[in-house]
Amino acid sequence: MALDDPKDRPEGRKEDARNFLKYYNDWCNGQTFWYSLEKDGEVIESCCGYIGDDIEYGVREARKDFGPITEVVGEAADMVSHMDLT
């Protein structure tokens, strides 16, 4: 263990533990999401495994890969209503 690396200092280990517990708690409480992209009623891509409440990350990733999003349905519709999806 090299104490010159901030992650090896007690403060760094505490921060790592807090981050781990946040994601673990989010996962345990069902704060997870996935997306499915459809074209003409057929699923062309889906991705799951997002943990936490940062749905904007998932939207950014989908937009980066597939371009503008034209419609969001289901529970996510309320979650992204404030976002510019284009």
Model confidence pLDDT, tens digit, residues 10-69: 788 888 899 999 999 999 998 887 777 777 888 888 877 888 877 777 778 778 877 887
| Structure tokens given for 62 | 């989908």
> Which runs of consecutive H residues, i.e. helices, occur in 1-82?
10-28, 55-66, 75-79
pTM score, whole prediction: 0.55
Query: Shortest CA distance to 39 belongs to which of 63, 69, 9, 13?
Result: 69
